[in-house]
Amino acid sequence: MRTKKTLLAGVALLGAVTLMASGCGGSGTSDDGASTSNDDDGANASTDDGGASSGDGLITVGFAQTGSESGWRSANTESMREAFSEENGFDLVFNAADNDPAAQISAVRSFINQEVDAIVIAPIVEDGWDDVLQEAQEAGIPVVLEDRTVSSSDDLYEAWVGLDFRHEGVMAGEWAAETFGDTPTNMVVLEGTTGSAPANDRAAGFAEAIEGTAITVLDSQTGNFTRADGKTVMEGFLQKHGSDIDLLYAHNDDMALGAIDAIEAAGLVPGEDIQIVSIDAVRDGMQALVDGKINYIVTCFPLIGDLVAEVVADVVAGNPVEKVQFFEDRPYTQEEAAEVIDEWQY
């Protein structure tokens, strides 16, 4: 099933080109409030002065973010900060786990101990959540998943709000299948964080779309969704396979951008000698698409904070909410990216 609630692609695109996401560069400034403090430095939590349910009518929400591994993640964090602001009726208790699953689970347990009104989690990996979600349920604290999913029973959380990662992979794979057709094509893959929902689903969707084509996977390895690891892994691919590589599929733009550095350092031309398809559509990725260094990008809209906040408010109020809520993504060609790059905000 694709979705129980789908926001049209036009809505997502409008938000992408009109909403500001000042955290896209991966940096931020801190002040005295938990909901706007600097979260991009790793695992340190930013909290309010008490952590427990607010006595001034605000909804206290604990948000367990993955970390700050990419431009996409920084934009997503900024969207959540803005949505869960005091002006909107929230008191945000924030933790970025620096992509450490154990640290993220510890943060959720801390939220439970602080007796927050609700918990929002962007799970680093899908597995390992049963115990802590059960603990939140027993404490009477509702949980909403944001961006990524878990393998736990869905009766342990109230709702999930995010993107259809599998469909993103399908769209990327359809481009590869149409572009290369029956031509024998050697592909390498930069995978996202091992065990994460986007890595699993983007791999499965892409594989589905290229099934029966002449595309062969030479190598596939995690680049942890980071530019640095994307470059390192691509360097290894080039040392091992050299000019035999025709196509790179990167699970996100940051890894693709790191790979571009490695490809250029090897004396090859990204987008020509090695064609590249990636997912996210962060500004640097879109610019690389415009410049011809990436050949095709599928969006993964990060500015979903308002919808998550709406769901949390309904859950806390006892209103019924739909279990699964998708934002709709879309692909971009070089020409299409050139038309919107000047207004691109994340």
Q: Which residue segment(s) compose the domain that 184 sits in? A: 165-299
Read off the pLDDT of residues 211-235 as tens digits, 9 standing for 90 and up. 999 999 999 999 999 999 999 999 9
The pLDDT score that the predictor gives to residue 299 is: 96
Considering the domain architecture, whether residues 282 and 311 belong to the same structural domain is answered as no
The pLDDT score that the predictor gives to residue 55 is: 57
In angstroms, the CA 344 to CA 122 distance is: 24
Residue that the structure tokens 């809520």 belong to: 325
Q: In the chain, how many domains are there?
A: 2
Considering the domain architecture, whether residues 155 and 263 belong to the same structural domain is answered as no
Q: How far is CA 109 from CA 106, 120, 346, in A?
A: 5, 12, 31
* Within a domain: 97: yes
Q: Name the residue with higher pLDDT: 201 or 25.
A: 201
The pLDDT score that the predictor gives to residue 15 is: 40
- pLDDT cut 90: percent of the chain above it: 81
Query: What average pLDDT score do residues 175-190 get?
Result: 96
Please give the model's pTM, rounded to 2 decimal places.
Answer: 0.81
- pLDDT over threshold 80, residue 24: no
First-to-last alpha carbon distance for the chain, in angstroms, is: 29
Considering the domain architecture, whether residues 102 and 200 belong to the same structural domain is answered as no
The domain that holds 81 is classified in CATH as 3.40.50.2300
In angstroms, the CA 127 to CA 144 distance is: 16
In 3D, which of 181, 183, 182, 201 has the Cα closest to residue 191?
A: 201
